[in-house]
Amino acid sequence: MDNYKKNIGRREFLRIVGIATAASSINILQGCTPGPKKKLKTAVDDADSRPAKMTYRNFSDQEKESVSILGYGCMRWPTTPSPDGKGDLIDQEKVNQLVDYAMKHGVNYYDTSVYVQGWSEKATGIALKRYPRKRFKIATKLSNFSNYTRENSIKMYKQSFVDLQVEYIDYYLLHSIGNGGIRTFNARYIENGMLDYLIKEREAGRIRHLGFSFHGTKDVFDEVLAMHEQVHWDFVQIQLNYLDWNHASGNNVNADYLYEELQKKHIPAIIMEPLLGGRLSKLPDHIVARLKQRQPENSVASWAFRFAGSPANVLTVLSGMTYMEHLQDNLRTYSPLVPLTEDERQFLFDTANLITQYPTIPCNDCKYCMPCPYGIDIPAILLHYNKCVNEGNLARSIQDENYHQARRAFLVGYDRSVPRLRQADHCIGCKQCNPHCPQSIDIPHQMQRINDFVENLKQGTL
Ligand code: SF4
Ligand code: SF4
């Protein structure tokens, strides 16, 4: 975590947070911000005017804890430029507004970790501290990726309580099991005694439910899941969406296998990446048209959220909502959730088959690969590439009918999305980023490939 925080001074963060928190408190004390006398109807009004009818799931037959089917993924909190121009800081006032709106509309599950350069837990803690503890459930993770020592791992664990300002954690996860294979799992949690330590913490009540999040190969999943007899995994967080159900990329395992293995053991599934890092909301135009034709009034993203929430063993579906519009759209989808019919499921599987024909790179913008020591903005490069694929702006040859339009769109958009010094041509191929990528993307290979493509476009040699 220290690495994540090293670029941001604590004092600067607190300064911003302090100002924003005070401003937000005033709003809360006043009930609401005064508005114009005659307000225009907005999406907020639409959502506000509906009765609260969020769908909830019970943790188990024995434990009737209700969890909202929409879980707030706190990995993409809004940021604001730092006053000194050195990077970004979390915009605490906006975080508070999003949390207030989510709480008001029934969201009671908040999933955080060392996200947003390490500041997510602190910002999430500040926002939630304003509510009675029983009204929300916190999930956070042991992210001892680079320093596995017991001492460091316990320090990270304890720091989460401080940053979140809580005395117990509802859902505690071993973070991103699978990355690095079973040897890394053993080093992070078994050989240092951390799993035993966390089990004792669960017995002591400081952890209410213990589980793990998974990105990796089938053999690791099977081996860690087989530990259920001794550990009793309370829940497991998996990547599930209608593309990954049968078409998981890289080392990832198809979601149908992951889900069904959990179901066999009656372990609740928490869903991450329902939108595959936004890829399932930024689809090629004709696939968007296909979804819109079937349900014109609903968003493209709502299909993916209904898919992820429909299976009965799913406890909650996480969404990293940076903008109010995304939160409102998801609330519409899940208040209440209308499970997919069998016909609609098949329609989405057919849609997934169409999507696989587009050669996008499976980056979900998680930023775990950042910062690159050489300054490459890896996710921005990959997202721009994917955007051009989806928009039909990936020229294959100078003979293409739309070659000139596609060339211009790619090159102009590239310079706008990624500063020159952070583009793919500055990658030296050191591979330091690869072990961090949960999607198993060979990042230097992709940087080289994209750079070759850019050079060909520039030279007119495609
Ligand atoms: S391989 Fe390239 S992108 Fe990855 S860390 Fe090295 S320089 Fe950065
Ligand atoms: S390249 Fe991998 S680690 Fe980096 S943002 Fe994309 S998915 Fe995340």
What tens digit of pLDDT does each residue of 284-318 get? 888 999 999 999 999 999 999 999 999 999 999 99
Ligand 1 pocket residue status of 314, Cβ below 6 Å: no
- Centre of ligand 2 from the C-alpha of residue 333, in Å: 27
Instruction: Locate the ligand 1 atom nearest the alpha carbon of residue 431 and give its number.
Output: 1
How much is the pLDDT for 63?
80
- How far the first Cα of the chain sits from its last, in Å, is 43
How much is the pLDDT for 4?
38
pLDDT surpasses 70 at 16: no
pLDDT surpasses 50 at 50: no
- Centre of ligand 2 from the C-alpha of residue 443, in Å: 8
Ligand 1 pocket residue status of 374, Cβ below 6 Å: yes
Q: How would residue 249 be classed by pLDDT, with cut points 50, 70 and 90?
A: confident
- Centre of ligand 2 from the C-alpha of residue 115, in Å: 13
| Nearest residue to 269 (alpha-carbon basis) of 312, 327, 219, 218 | 312
- Higher-pLDDT residue of 51 and 448 is 448
Ligand at shortest distance from the CA of 360: 2
Residue type at 161 in one-letter notation: F
Q: Name the helix (H) or strand (E) containing 123.
A: helix 120-128
Strand, helix or coil at 418?
coil
- Centre of ligand 2 from the C-alpha of residue 327, in Å: 23
- Residues 402-444 pLDDT 10s: 899 999 999 999 999 999 999 999 999 999 999 889 888 999 9
Mean pLDDT of 29-52: 38
- Centre of ligand 2 from the C-alpha of residue 91, in Å: 23
Query: Token pair 């979390």 is at which residue?
Result: 90
The pair of three-digit structure tokens given for residue 39, joined into one six-digit string: 């307000």
Least confident of 16-25, 30-39, 132-141, 373-382: 30-39
Measured by CA distance, the residue closest to atom 8 of ligand 1 is 372
Q: How would residue 52 be classed by pLDDT, with cut points 50, 70 and 90?
A: low
pLDDT surpasses 90 at 31: no
CA distance 215 to 50: 37
How much is the pLDDT for 462?
86
Instruction: Locate the ligand 2 atom nearest the alpha carbon of residue 436 and give its number.
Output: 3
How much is the pLDDT for 292?
97
Burial of 341 (0-12, 13-18, 19+ CB in 10 A): exposed
| Nearest residue to 221 (alpha-carbon basis) of 185, 264, 193, 194 | 185
pLDDT surpasses 70 at 276: yes
27 near 35, Cβ under 8 Å? no
Measured by CA distance, the residue closest to atom 2 of ligand 2 is 437
| Nearest residue to 395 (alpha-carbon basis) of 462, 334, 338 | 462
Q: How would residue 9 be classed by pLDDT, with cut points 50, 70 and 90?
A: very low
CA distance 257 to 9: 44
Q: Which fold has domain 2-355?
A: TIM Barrel (3.20.20)
pLDDT surpasses 90 at 391: no
Ligand 1 pocket test target in 3, 378, 432 with most atoms within 8 Å of CB: 432
Least confident of 97-111, 182-196, 353-367, 426-440: 353-367
Ligand 1 pocket test target in 361, 369, 370, 372 with most atoms within 8 Å of CB: 372
The pair of three-digit structure tokens given for residue 299, joined into one six-digit string: 């968003």
DSSP 8-state class, residue 387: H
Mean pLDDT of 30-39: 33
Q: Which residues contact 131 (CB under 8 A, 6 or more apart)?
A: 103
Cβ < 6 A, ligand 2 pocket = 363-369, 378-379, 382, 436-437, 439, 441, 443
How much is the pLDDT for 397?
87
Best mean pLDDT range from 43-52, 240-249, 358-367: 240-249
- Centre of ligand 2 from the C-alpha of residue 123, in Å: 23
Query: Where do the structural domains in the chain lie, given as residue ranges?
Result: 2-355, 378-459
- Centre of ligand 2 from the C-alpha of residue 438, in Å: 7
Mean pLDDT of 173-195: 95
Mean pLDDT of 213-233: 96
Ligand 1 pocket test target in 367, 385, 425, 433 with most atoms within 8 Å of CB: 433
Angle, CA 350 vertex, CA 345 and CA 352 arms, to 5°: 95
Q: Name the helix (H) or strand (E) containing 137.
A: strand 137-142
Ligand at shortest distance from the CA of 435: 2
- Centre of ligand 1 from the C-alpha of residue 250, in Å: 19
pLDDT surpasses 50 at 1: no
Strand, helix or coil at 361?
coil
pLDDT surpasses 70 at 140: yes
- Higher-pLDDT residue of 63 and 219 is 219
| C-alpha 71, offset from chain centre | 11
Instruction: Locate the ligand 1 atom nearest the alpha carbon of residue 434 and give its number.
Output: 4
- Dihedral Cα 408, 413, 419, 420, nearest 10 deg: -20
Residue type at 362 in one-letter notation: P
Mean pLDDT of 263-271: 97
- Residues 70-124 pLDDT 10s: 999 999 999 999 888 877 899 999 999 999 999 999 999 999 998 887 899 999 9
